[in-house]
Structure 1
Amino acid sequence: MIRDALRTLCRLGSEILVVRLAVPPRADGRPPSLLQWTLAATLRSPSHQRWVTQVGDHAVTRLAMRLEVNRLDQWRDWWLRLLFPPPRAGRTDYPARALAWINARVTHRLDVPVDASVGQMVQALVWRRADRRPAFPPYVGWLALRDNNERVRLWLVQTLFGIPPDTPAQLAHRFDEQLERVMQWRVTSAVVALLGMIGVFWIVTTPFEPFEQLLFSICTLTLALVFRRLDSQYSVLVLIGLSLISTIRYVWWRLTQSLAFDTLPEAAVGYTLVAAEMYTWMILLFGYIQTVWPLQRRITPLPPDTREWPSVDIYIPTYNEGLDVVRPTVYAACGIDWPPEKLNIYLLDDGRRDEMREFAALAGVHYMTRPDNRHAKAGNINHALGKTQGEFVAIFDCDHIPVRSFLQTTMGAFLKDPRCSLVQTPHHFFSDDPFERNLATRGAVPNEGRLFYGIVQDGNDFWNASFFCGSCAVLRRTALDEVGGVAVETVTEDAHTALKMHRRGWNTVYLKVVQAAGLATESLSSHVGQRIRWARGMAQIFRVDNPLFGRGLKFGQRICYANGMLHFFYGIPRIIFLLAPIAYLFFGLHIVQAAALSICAYVLPHIAHANIANSRIQGKYRHSFWSDVYEAVLAWYVALPTTVAFINPRYGKFNVTAKGGLIEQSFFDWNISKPYLVLLGFNLLGFLAGVLRYFYGPAHEMGALVFNLAWVTFNLAVLGAAVAVATEVRQVRRTHRVSMRMPAMLYLPDGRTIACHTRDFSGGGLALLLSVPLELSEGTEAQVALSRGATEYGFPVRVVGVRGQALFLSFMPLTVAQDKHLVQFTFGRADAWRDWDVERTHDEPIKALFEMLAMGLRGYQVLANYLLGKLVTRWQDRLRSARQT
């Protein structure tokens, strides 16, 4: 009865307002929408109302096309496409089926039509049918009077920017231009920033009840899901702003309402958890600043007159790497396009090996060594700097094979800016790293290094803070001389050298164009050793030359360097997060003094917003939840080195990363996985204790129990994936196969010539794709000609297999000249790695979560198989011993 009376009053009030405001009725006879009410209240002219309506309809149509929404008037379709991208052609749309089933159940329970609007559903929720009592606080009923099916329109554009009425398409284009122009005005930007700061402060400090906080979070998350699907860089700024608002609200609540501990153990564990969270908050903020606007710098062309090009020395330092690793790099360096009289190549051998001296003479490059190995790679380069005279120095690790266009791509920036000290290009790897190989994720999940070279370095470049990464870079000799050569105070000499040059006012450049490719670490143990050195070195720099202090750096540079160094301190916080839920599940400690509803209302939106923003920023280079896996694998191993280096920065030495090794057979690396197994055991015990608490624990703590069980379940999935990475997969290739399509000519012994192209190649052979199948027997000798520009060169080959239109060939013994040309015509091609940044697997957070969970289950399967195998082997040995006795 009360509900009927309210409906009658609302209907009468709306009819009166329709007459007073002259709200036009809908064509389908339904009541006026929220948009029509707003237009009637703000714009009295019917022509203006129609114009704004057309603009809004155009904007909604464009957004619907972008999201692939089929039914624009169905809010469920909008939510579906915001959360789940449409399936590929021919595949079942399972999210749509699930949503239809849920919608049918909900509408049946609420007794509303299947196509009910949001307002009808909220109205049904506000008043329960059984007892006519409000289901929620009275203010929620206000939502029932609104028709939320309509989109927010662009009618404010004319008022804010004074744009005259125009066609919708022209308006959208002019709005983008006007917004870009307005944001460039310093006064306007300052006013907007000031008003934004005031508004954000008011938003983040306004206290909410848990239910109000949930409503607020739903609104911000809905807005974030919309902006996540837009391409504009301004949408990234909106996502960052929403994430920071949610995070600051969480921080405010966390520090003011959740730290009233009852016991000393709870306080000890609780404050430890808060300290770990404070670290993540800082890294999140610094990361947003660092990647807020990737520069995406373009190549600066060189002058056409080669006489204006400077002289360059190419350094290839080596210590204990084999000739098979060094040879391709030297051969490719010999093929770099640069005037020969202005180019010198030096093989810097810290191993003082005769075979390297002989090879350098054979390849036609300079060989240089020194009497000791002081300061490792940095000392090797500094020794060469004192013996050479080139204006610029290009440095390649001995496993990084440059392409012929390297210098023509990078040197233009130096001629354009006389204060440019460094041009850095990405490190690209044509072999699988341990994560890609052991988890079989190559091409499906971006590898660990793609985030840094894909987005972080590009973001650093916006702040003039690009790091020197030790290889695939060119440096100005005068800048190096000014800072005393390559830094020797830390084991990450590259980043420290760049920091010194930035302090002296030099500029740096990052070009996101791959101009060299190398070998990734072969095993997880080698990978861990390399990351330990990086972590130790960055901690040393943070201790002895802290970028947050001292002269010479600008604000953005300080943030970028500080974030790059503080990132490697994640070891201890990550271990804390992996163990924190056990404190409650196993010991009953309440380490967050708040109700479960309050925790969910503040924690979950903070996590969701951070994941949405990072998915939009990093999605092409790092999938959601995979950072948890990478950090869990390395956390135990970097925790101690970073702590020791921060306390005593002189402790520790340079360790060389092994490259080009083999794994003769698959095995489970028990030594490297011991920390994962210990953490996994603790979390498993906590999970079992939580299950017991569920059945026998106090009922009023059910919310906290469910929250901690969900937390420990996520930890178990992450640790399971870490265990899966420790399963080393067999790798017996001495020359890695690289997928690449190149034109080729096949010359057969019978005189036939067949045009074809390569499918892949390696140092030992290649695979050709033919237009028609050929019947060739194994062992048939032929010749394959590859071209580079207008030059063609032939290589003797032998047929090792035929499969349909694919022909598999191995190279016959090659001369030095043929070997050099093979490298230059394959790895050294200017277009060899042009597709490295092609978007193959854009991030889908929900899909990424299930991928990570699947990897976790795979880890447990691997662990069970190995444990079962060891158990069976042990019993067999005992039975064999018993029979012999």
Structure 2
Amino acid sequence: MRRFYPDERRTRDVEPSPCRRLGVNLFRRQWRGAKAGMINDFLDFIEGKPKPGFSFHPFAEKKRTEKEKYIFVFDADMNPFPDFVEPLVAIMEDRPKLAFVQTPQYYSNFELNRVARAAGLQQVVFYEYICEGKSIGDAMFCCGTNVIFRREALMDVGGFDESSVTEDFATSLKFHLRVWSSAYFNRVCAFGLGPEDLGGYFKQQFRWALGTVGLFRTILQEFFRHPFRLTIAKWWEYFLSGTWYFVGWVFCIMAYCPILFLYLNVPSFFARPEVYFFFFLPYFVLSMAIFLATLHLRKYRVKDVFQGMVLNAICFPVFMKASTLAMVGVRGTFAVTPKGQSRALPLMALWPQLITAVLSFGAIFWGGLRLYYEREPFSAILVNMSWCLYHFLLFSTVLYFNFPEERG
């Protein structure tokens, strides 16, 4: 196995001594295309077709005897375990049409940081539930790091897709359209750092949402042009993934419907409250109970799971902005999630969450006045007051996460 460090810094004034000391080959080139552009330029280099402006420092003692069959990709802050190679190569060798195998991301900076811990629990739900299901249906998409690629497959699709800020998701679609398969291996092969404050977390989520929803437009175009290139099940998985970040609009609508009813008497649904409770409560309680019970079996605490869910909810303005920009064709630029620092955002940067919390609290008070003076519709007012209390508590937690460093 040969190790390469693709250095994509815009300046080259840093000495390559760490690579020399560790015996890692150093590849540099003129900056373009961020991470996807770097990997594509590196692929061209090892294919013997380097682009102008590159430099290569062969610090590894091992000489190249044949073309590399597989390529591992890790983000710069990821630390692979010594035994990560063998099981992944074995899976690839056993399945010749497998384009890549994705492994989980694990955040190691969760112990004293609220944002990193909650973000890590979101990763748990994604990797230990969603990815397992997608892999069974051969619809797993690449997550950009901690992944092994078949070099032949990468060359077959023309390398990474540089048109999206979520190049991993976009390239996965290209693999599947070219009849390559994908898989997920639920074993931690590397650990790294998660976002450590709301600024870093919002930046990360904005990029993911912008790229994923932006690719949804491509998914729709491909579906109408070539509906039979993927199975219905795979198209469905891509539709689900491509539209997930519209959940920000769902959070917003659900938060403001009870506010509008209590302040302005604008109804959000027309069923009797008793019927609503009869159908909604059993569904909500049963689904949450099953979900939390399975996480408990995997040794996760309910408290931490709720923190992950709450952090996702307070991100609704970020999802709304990103999905809107993506649908009108804004591509965005690749930006690295800040690590190794924890800073509180100014309260003005959190105005959507705080205004929603304040309006919800005011609606509770106003609903109490309506109950006292109007009395009818008693059940409907009570239901909407309950939702406003829930949303007030939910969005107030933005202050808790804005000071992520835990003491003691």
TM-score, normalised to structure 2's length?
Answer: 0.86
Aligned-pair CA distance for 1:727: 2.1
Aligned-pair CA distance for 1:428: 0.8
**2:243: which partner in 1?**
566
**2:333: which partner in 1?**
653
Distance 1:464 1:517 in 2: 25
* SS of equivalent residue, structure 1 residue 368: strand
* SS of equivalent residue, structure 2 residue 339: coil
Supply the AA of the counterpart residue of 1:391.
K
1:406 aligns with 2:87: no
Asked if 2 retains the 8 angstrom alpha-carbon contact of 1:532 and 1:638, the reply is yes
Deviations 1:480-516 (A, max 9, x none): 1111101112110011111111111111121111111
Give the counterpart of 1:526 among 187, 190, 200: 200
Closer/same/farther in 2, CA of residues 509 and 481 from structure 1, 3 Å limit: same
1:680 aligns with 2:357: yes
Q: CA RMSD in A?
A: 2.4
Aligned-pair CA distance for 1:387: 0.8
Q: What pairs with 1:224-235 in structure 2 (closer than 5 Å)?
A: none
**2:42: which partner in 1?**
384
Aligned-pair CA distance for 1:639: 0.3
**2:271: which partner in 1?**
594
* SS of equivalent residue, structure 1 residue 386: helix
* SS of equivalent residue, structure 2 residue 7: strand
Deviations 1:456-491 (A, max 9, x none): 111111101121111111101110111110111211
Asked if 2 retains the 8 angstrom alpha-carbon contact of 1:464 and 1:507, the reply is yes
Distance 1:638 1:590 in 2: 26
Give the counterpart of 1:631 among 312, 319, 331: 312
Distance 1:347 1:654 in 2: 17
**1:449: which partner in 2?**
123
Asked if 1 retains the 8 angstrom alpha-carbon contact of 2:198 and 2:345, the reply is no
Deviations 1:707-748 (A, max 9, x none): 1111111111111223311224279xxxxxxxxxxxxxxxxx
Higher Rg: 1
Asked if 2 retains the 8 angstrom alpha-carbon contact of 1:582 and 1:683, the reply is yes
Asked if 2 retains the 8 angstrom alpha-carbon contact of 1:438 and 1:726, the reply is no
Asked if 1 retains the 8 angstrom alpha-carbon contact of 2:103 and 2:184, the reply is yes
Q: What pairs with 1:209-288 in structure 2 (closer than 5 Å)?
A: none
Aligned-pair CA distance for 1:625: 5.2
Closer/same/farther in 2, CA of residues 512 and 384 from structure 1, 3 Å limit: same
**2:165: which partner in 1?**
491
Aligned-pair CA distance for 1:594: 2.9
Asked if 2 retains the 8 angstrom alpha-carbon contact of 1:676 and 1:723, the reply is no
**2:55: which partner in 1?**
none
**2:262: which partner in 1?**
585
Deviations 1:257-286 (A, max 9, x none): xxxxxxxxxxxxxxxxxxxxxxxxxxxxxx
Distance 1:396 1:480 in 2: 16
* SS of equivalent residue, structure 2 residue 364: helix
**1:365: which partner in 2?**
24
Give the counterpart of 1:542 among 216, 224, 240: 216
1:504 aligns with 2:178: yes
Supply the AA of the counterpart residue of 2:177.
R
**1:169: which partner in 2?**
none
Distance 1:465 1:378 in 2: 21
Distance 1:662 1:696 in 2: 48
Deviations 1:570-596 (A, max 9, x none): 111111111110111111223322322
Supply the AA of the counterpart residue of 2:95.
D
Percent identity between the two aligned chains: 25
**2:14: which partner in 1?**
355
Closer/same/farther in 2, CA of residues 356 and 632 from structure 1, 3 Å limit: farther
Distance 2:146 2:301 in 1: 22
Asked if 1 retains the 8 angstrom alpha-carbon contact of 2:197 and 2:401, the reply is no
Supply the AA of the counterpart residue of 2:11.
R
Supply the AA of the counterpart residue of 2:34.
A
Supply the AA of the counterpart residue of 1:464.
D
Aligned-pair CA distance for 1:662: 5.3
Supply the AA of the counterpart residue of 2:396.
G
Supply the AA of the counterpart residue of 1:343.
R
Supply the AA of the counterpart residue of 1:366.
N
TM-score, normalised to structure 1's length?
Answer: 0.41
**1:121: which partner in 2?**
none
Closer/same/farther in 2, CA of residues 514 and 628 from structure 1, 3 Å limit: closer
Deviations 1:193-232 (A, max 9, x none): xxxxxxxxxxxxxxxxxxxxxxxxxxxxxxxxxxxxxxxx
Distance 2:271 2:91 in 1: 56
Closer/same/farther in 2, CA of residues 523 and 489 from structure 1, 3 Å limit: same
Aligned-pair CA distance for 1:600: 1.6
1:729 aligns with 2:387: no
Supply the AA of the counterpart residue of 2:195.
T
User: What runs of 5+ residues in structure 1 fail to find an aligned partner?
Assistant: 1-341, 732-885
Q: What pairs with 1:182-221 in structure 2 (closer than 5 Å)?
A: none
User: What runs of 5+ residues in structure 2 fail to find an aligned partner?
Assistant: 47-66
Supply the AA of the counterpart residue of 1:525.
G
Aligned-pair CA distance for 1:447: 1.8
**1:479: which partner in 2?**
153
Closer/same/farther in 2, CA of residues 700 and 730 from structure 1, 3 Å limit: closer
Supply the AA of the counterpart residue of 1:705.
I
Closer/same/farther in 2, CA of residues 497 and 686 from structure 1, 3 Å limit: same
Supply the AA of the counterpart residue of 1:363.
L
Distance 2:99 2:117 in 1: 37
Distance 1:394 1:668 in 2: 36
Asked if 2 retains the 8 angstrom alpha-carbon contact of 1:347 and 1:360, the reply is no
Aligned-pair CA distance for 1:645: 0.6
**2:141: which partner in 1?**
467
Deviations 1:532-553 (A, max 9, x none): 0000000111012337553422
Closer/same/farther in 2, CA of residues 441 and 626 from structure 1, 3 Å limit: closer
Q: What pairs with 1:40-439 in structure 2 (closer than 5 Å)?
A: 342-355=1-14, 357-373=16-32, 375-388=33-46, 389-432=67-110, 437-438=113-114
